[in-house]
Chain A
Amino acid sequence: MNFIYDLHRTMMSQNLILVYQGDFTQESTKSILAMAERNLDSSGEESSIKRKVFNVMVEALQNIVKHSDELIDGEIHSHAAIFLIGREANQYCIMSGNPVRKENVAGLTKKLEQINNLDKDGLKELYKEIIKNTTISDKGGAGLGFVDMARKSGQSLEYSFPELTTEYCFFCLKVNVPRDNE
């Protein structure tokens, strides 16, 4: 049973205020948002920071709902993904991890690199460019999630793709929202 204590200690040392693992749906998204919002409210966080954190959370959660690839391991079909929020002295960290098929890794990397190479004005132009020309995909996305996360956080998007199986990687994304708003 020591893993319970170990997990607790890990969460404490990583300053995690919320961890959710499991199936992600619009319903679980709403519950996670409500919990995180209550936490931010009770900590007395500044409203402009709260809004930015909320914004990034929604896009990260809806990305998982819409784009996480179904992991097929033998007979087991699973959408298992993870979502975490950390609160450090100077920033909030919104983190997600979900399986993606290996053939999607290059496309994701290219999109994330393009965004990380743009400054504030470049991101604004990219946003306007996409919103003018996009149509809502079958999955219900507008293709604007990463751009919006970068704009709202004002930070680069950190990511990695550790290998999960021969066919899948685990897409890890970390978005930092600064707290010192002076």
Chain B
Amino acid sequence: MEILNLEGTEDTPKIILDKKNGIFEISGRSLPEDSAEFYRPVLEWIGKYGSDANPSTEFVFKLEYFNTASSKLILDVLSALEDIKGMKILWYFHEDDEDMEEAGQEFSELVEIPFEFKTY
């Protein structure tokens, strides 16, 4: 399966989705002008991955900041991951960033996927 690799910019996150090497990560800042357009390839990739997923998947969110339009799309990403067996979310937040920790807790209440919280 092809690798999705997007370099991070000042307003878009770095994204690596690599089935073969078991790397699934969204990190950095997310405040794109058009969040639906930006996350479309991610959702498409997850759709394909879901039909032939690895036995277990650890999906990493390591976000420094995201805007509200991105938060809706992050929920869409999580909802797409929800149906995949063996899925686990690793939600990273900076140790003094309570808002990012709380955001992760809220997402975990909105989807049925185990979340593990980690600081960096």
| Complex CA distance for A65 and B34, rounded to whole angstroms | 12
Question: At the interface, yes or no: A131 with Cβ under 8 Å from chain B?
Answer: yes
Main secondary structure of the interface of B (DSSP, over half): helix
Query: Is B68's CB under 8 angstroms from A148's CB?
Result: yes
| Complex CA distance for A51 and B31, rounded to whole angstroms | 14
CB within 8 A of A128: which of B11, B35, B99, B110?
A: B110
Number of residues on chain B facing chain A (CB within 8 A): 23
CB within 8 A of A144: which of B31, B34, B68, B97?
A: B68
B-side contacts of A136, CB under 8 Å:
35-36, 69, 72-73
Query: Is B106's CB under 8 angstroms from A48's CB?
Result: no
Question: At the interface, yes or no: B7 with Cβ under 8 Å from chain A?
Answer: no
B107 vs chain A, min Cβ distance (A) = 9
| Complex CA distance for A59 and B73, rounded to whole angstroms | 16
B-side contacts of A131, CB under 8 Å:
71-72, 75, 110
User: Which residues 6-26 of A sit at the B interface, judged by CB distance below 8 A?
Assistant: 26
> Smallest CB-CB separation from A152: which chain B residue?
B99
Query: Is A140's CB under 8 angstroms from B36's CB?
Result: yes
Query: Is A48's CB under 8 angstroms from B72's CB?
Result: no
Query: Is B106's CB under 8 angstroms from A128's CB?
Result: yes
Query: Is B31's CB under 8 angstroms from A62's CB?
Result: yes
Query: Is A145's CB under 8 angstroms from B68's CB?
Result: yes
A44 vs chain B, min Cβ distance (A) = 15
Residues 47-84 of A, flagged 1 when their CB comes within 8 A of B and 0 if not, give 11001101100110010010000000000000000000
Query: Is A55's CB under 8 angstroms from B99's CB?
Result: yes
CB within 8 A of A47: which of B36, B96, B110?
A: B96
Question: At the interface, yes or no: A110 with Cβ under 8 Å from chain B?
Answer: no
| Residues A26 and B97 in contact in the complex (CB < 8 Å), given A136-B72, A140-B69 | no
B-side contacts of A147, CB under 8 Å:
68
Residues of chain A having any CB pair with chain B under 8 Å: 26, 30, 34, 47-48, 51-52, 54-55, 58-59, 62, 65, 124, 127-128, 131-132, 134, 136, 140-142, 144-145, 147-148, 152
Closest 7 CB pairs of A and B: A144-B68, A26-B33, A142-B72, A136-B36, A142-B69, A148-B68, A142-B68
